[in-house]
Amino acid sequence: MSVPPDLHQQYLQACQNLSQPENHFVARVLQEADKSDNIRQTKGITLKIAGNNRLVPVQRVTDEDVQVLASVLCSAVFVTGLDLRYNDLTDVGVRHVATFLQENSTLRYLNLMFNDIGTSGAELIANALHSNETLLHLRMTGNKIGNKGGMYFASMLQVNCTLEKLDLGDCDMGTQCLIAIASVLTQNKAVRAINLNRPLLYSQEEETTIHMALMLKNNSSLVELHLCKHEIKSLGVERLCEALYENCSLRYLDLSCNKITREDVKFLGELLKQNQTLEILDLNSNRIEDDGAIYLSEALALYNRTLKALSVVSNNISGKGLAALSQAMKINVELSYIYIWGNNFDEAACTAFSELIQAGRLKPNCTDVEPYEVDGHVHLAELSHGLKKHYYWTPSYGQVKNTAANASLAIAAVSEYL
């Protein structure tokens, strides 16, 4: 068995060759990687060089740092993941990342979320993916690439047949870009998960949601779709539900932070009576109220045996609706994860969910509330569990523990890095 190269020593040598100062945080990460058992066993490793690491002193990666790092990693075939989130990369540094993607044949995961990448950087990354045939998961979350930058990724998806998950949430994309992506996904058979959260929309006509619905009618490979903060209302919900009567692949639908009301939930309730595919439904921060919770409860109690996780956090649901949801859980044993914090609990609702937890029907890691008692009265405290517990932050060392606390990881992961 060949001896893997010494990443740390290569990095120090590259700094000297390029006349760049050493980034002590990068050096520390590479030292730890050199000691990894996965390297000794020639298994793939992910380098976690996240700028929001609080366990060790962090010196954020700059454009100059990434030039040195890319020169070191170009021959490191055992590096299959690179996490550069929350650093200071701009379009200048992304040029080196793009070159690395064109030359590297082993990288499967690249996280660039919340850097300072703009439209030009998006063009460079997208163009690199025209020829790259190994990258499975790309996160561009929080980089302000704009509508034009999003169009570059839409064009890339016409060519790339490898990428499985693309995260373009919080990227300031617009209507034109979303419609283009929806159109491309009617043909692309590789993408299994896409995040299009929080676009910049200036119309109330829900054109983008209608195009997403049309895409779902024709797409048979998409597993996960995030449409958070899309201004979705009654027409959008109706069209999405119509599409999902025909779609047999989507398992995870995120409709959080929209304008879905109790009347709109009727469409979702009717869908759940027939749909045999959806496993995760996120309705966090809408306004479904008691009536909406009851519609969902009836469908889940009497008809649906596929949905495993439901989030109705902050939906102005009171005791009546919460009681209906707890009763649905008693009947439907397939529904294992439920997130309810931010609603209007009364003592009966607190008692109902407390009984579910104490009886073992609802596992503590599968909900975001924990019961406690004061003066003979049951109350609920908030837990940090949910569908997106590790969306913005993941542990710097080791694997994510208790994946059940994050239903999206436990149920609908579409690759080893999700």
Number of neighbours of residue 226 by Cβ within 10 angstroms: 24
Q: Which residue has the tokens 């930058």?
A: 149
418: in domain: no
Print pLDDT tens along the chain (418 aa): 344 568 999 999 999 999 999 999 999 999 988 887 655 555 789 999 999 887 778 899 999 999 999 999 988 888 999 999 999 999 999 999 999 999 888 999 999 999 999 999 999 999 999 999 999 999 999 999 999 999 999 999 999 999 999 999 999 999 999 999 999 999 999 999 999 999 999 988 999 999 999 999 999 999 999 999 999 999 999 999 999 999 999 999 999 999 999 999 999 999 999 999 999 999 999 999 999 999 999 999 999 999 999 999 999 999 999 999 999 999 999 999 999 999 999 999 999 999 999 999 999 999 999 999 999 999 999 999 999 988 887 766 666 777 888 888 888 776 555 4
**pLDDT for the residue 414:** 65
Domain count, the chain: 2
Q: Please tell me whether residues 164 and 251 are part of one structural domain.
A: yes
Nearest Cα neighbor of 230 from 266, 190, 250, 203 is 203
pTM of the model as a whole:
0.95
In a domain, 123, yes or no: no
Residue in 388, 387, 260, 376 with CA at minimum distance from that of residue 336: 387
What pLDDT does 2 receive? 47
Whether 220 is in a domain gets the answer yes
Assess if residue 371 is contained within a domain.
yes
Is residue 185 within 8 A of residue 219, CB to CB? The reply is yes
Same structural domain, 143 and 245: yes
Is residue 45 one of the residues assigned to a domain? yes
Helices (H) and strands (E) in the chain, counts: 15, 13
Tell me, yes or no, whether 47 lies in a domain. Answer: yes
Strands (E), 174-293: 193-195, 224-226, 252-254, 280-282
pLDDT at 394: 75
d(CA 149, CA 141): 13
Give the integer Cα–Cα distance in Å for 147 and 69: 30
N residues, the chain:
418
Domain containing residue 222: CATH number: 3.80.10.10
Tell me if 147 sits within 8 A of 168, measured CB to CB: no
Q: Is residue 46 part of a domain?
A: yes
214 belongs to a structural domain = yes
Claim to verify: residue 81 and residue 163 sit in the same structural domain: no
For residues 96 and 124, give the distance between their C-alpha atoms in angstroms, rounded to a whole number: 9
- Residue 245's domain comprises 103-118+129-410
Q: Are residues 238 and 148 in the same domain?
A: yes
For residues 137 and 133, what is the distance between their CA atoms, to the nearest angstrom? 12
**Do residues 17 and 109 share a domain?**
no
C-alpha span between 351 and 379 (Å, rounded): 8
Residues 248 and 201 in one domain: yes
Regarding whether 181 and 35 lie in a shared domain, the answer is: no
- pLDDT score recorded for residue 185: 98
Mark whether 336 and 195 lie in a shared domain: yes
Residues 56 and 153 in one domain: no
97 and 110 belong to one structural domain: no
Whether residue 398 sits in one domain with residue 285:
yes
Sign of the Cα pseudo-torsion (283, 289, 292, 296, in order): positive
Residues 188 and 227 in one domain: yes
